[in-house]
Chains A and B, each alone.
Chain A
Amino acid sequence: MEIFWFILIAVVLAIFFVLDGYDFGAGIIHLFFAKKEKDKEVITKSAGLFWDSNEVWLVAAGGMLFMAFPTFYASVFSGFYLPLIIVLWLIIFRAIGLEFRGQFKYKMWKDIWDASFGVSSLLLALFFGIALGNIVRGVNLGGVENGVSAYEGHYFFLPLWDSSFSPLSETPGIIDWFTIVIGLISVVTLAIHGANWIILKTNSSINYKLKSVIFKLNIVLALLTLFSIILWQVVNPDSLDNFIDKPYLLVFPVIYFSGLVGLFFIKKIKKDIHGFLLSTLLILGGITSSLASIFPVILPSIHNVHEPLTIYNTSTTEYGLSVASIWAVIGVILIIIYAIIQKRLLAGKIDKMDYGH
Chain B
Amino acid sequence: MEDMLFYDRLQFAFTITFHYIFPQLTMGLSLMIVYFKWKYLRNNIEKYNNAAKFFMKIFAVNFTMGVVTGIPMEFQFGTNWARFSELTGGIIGQTLAMEGMFSFFLESSFLALFIFGEKLMGQKLHFLTGFLVFLGSWASGWFILATNAWMQHPVGYEILDNGKFVLENFSALFSNPWLLPAFLHNQFASVVTSAFVVASIGAFYVLRNKQVEYGKLFLKTGVIFGLVSSLLVAFPTGDWNAKNVAKFQPAAFAAMEGIFETEHAGAEIVLIGQPNMVEKKLDNKIAVPNILSFLTYQDWNKQIPGMDQFKKEELPDNIPALYYSYHIMVGLGTIFIGVMALAFFFLWRKKLFNLKPLLWIIMFLVPFPYIANLTGWYVAELGRQPYLVYGLLKTSDGISPTVSSGNTLFTLLGFVALYMLLGLLFLVLVGKTINEGPKPKTH
Contact = CB atoms under 8 A, between A and B. Distances in A.
A50 B72 CA distance: 20
B402 interface: yes
A320 B403 contact: no
B22 to A, nearest CB: 12
Given A155-B402, A157-B402, A356 B115 contact: yes
A76 B425 contact: no
A41 interface: no
Contacts of B79: 77-78, 81, 84-85
Nearest to B160: A317
Contacts of A155: 82, 400-402
B88 A70 contact: yes
A319 B168 contact: yes
A67 B97 contact: yes
A266 B96 CA distance: 42
A64 B75 contact: no
Interface stretch (A89-97, A181-189, A296-304): A89-97
A74 B100 contact: no
Interface in B40-86: 57, 60-61, 63-64, 67-72, 74-75, 77-80, 82-83, 85-86
Contacts of B10: none
Contacts of B83: 74
B14 to A, nearest CB: 13
Question: Which range contains the number of A residues in contact with the other chain?
Answer: 35 or more
A89 B418 contact: yes
Interface stretch (B102-110, B189-197, B207-215, B353-361): B102-110
Interface in B76-130: 77-80, 82-83, 85-94, 96-102, 104-106, 108-113, 115-117, 120-121
Contacts of A68: 93
A327 B99 CA distance: 11
Nearest to A327: B98
A79 B422 contact: no
A336 B410 CA distance: 40
B310 interface: no
Query: DSSP class of A's interface residues: helix, strand, loop or mixed?
Result: helix
Contact of A77 (B70, B85, B101, B164): B85
A59 B100 contact: yes
Interface string A61-75: 011101111110111
A334 interface: yes
Contact of A338 (B67, B75, B109, B432): B109
Contacts of B401: 78, 151-152, 155
A228 B83 CA distance: 35
A320 B167 contact: yes
A58 interface: yes
B167 A78 contact: no
A335 B432 CA distance: 34
A55 B407 contact: no
Interface stretch (A125-133, A203-211, A341-349): A341-349
B309 interface: no
A85 B72 CA distance: 8
A89 B100 CA distance: 21
Given A74-B89, A156-B402, A317 B166 contact: yes
A81 B57 CA distance: 35
A92 B167 contact: no
Contacts of B93: 63-64, 66-68, 70, 73, 316
Contacts of A93: 418
A323 interface: yes
Question: Which range contains the number of B residues in contact with the other chain?
Answer: 35 or more
Given A77-B75, A78-B402, A60 B170 contact: no
Given A59-B74, A319-B166, A67 B414 contact: no
Contact of A320 (B80, B90, B115, B429): B90
Contact of B67 (A55, A89, A331, A339): A55
Contacts of A64: 93, 97, 100-101
A66 B108 contact: no
A70 B89 contact: yes
A277 interface: no
Given A63-B74, A81-B403, A74 B86 contact: yes
Given A77-B75, A345-B113, A357-B61, A82 B407 contact: yes
A319 B165 CA distance: 13
A77 B82 contact: yes
B290 interface: no
B167 A319 contact: yes
B117 A331 contact: no
A338 B111 CA distance: 11
A345 B98 CA distance: 26
Contacts of B422: 92, 96
Best-buried of A88, A327, A335, A346 by chain B (most CB within 10 Å) = A88
A99 B109 CA distance: 18
A308 to B, nearest CB: 17
Given A70-B86, A89-B414, A155-B82, A60 B100 contact: yes
Contacts of B80: 78
B433 interface: yes
Given A52-B67, A89-B414, A60 B104 contact: yes
Contacts of A78: 78-80, 82, 400-403
A53 interface: yes
Contact of B112 (A53, A317, A331): A53
B342 to A, nearest CB: 34
A60 B101 contact: yes
Contact of A84 (B60, B75, B111, B170): B75
Q: Which 6 A-B pairs have the closest CB atoms?
A: A77-B78, A70-B89, A67-B93, A316-B90, A63-B97, A331-B101
Interface of A: 49-50, 52-53, 55-56, 58-60, 62-64, 66-71, 73-79, 81-82, 84-85, 88-89, 91-93, 95-96, 99-100, 103, 143, 150-152, 155-157, 316-317, 319-320, 323-324, 327-328, 331-332, 334-335, 338-339, 341-342, 345-346, 353-354, 356-357
19 contacts: A50-B112, A55-B67, A56-B104, A63-B101, A66-B93, A74-B89, A74-B400, A78-B402, A93-B418, A96-B421, A99-B64, A103-B432, A151-B401, A155-B400, A316-B89, A316-B167, A335-B105, A338-B105, A338-B106
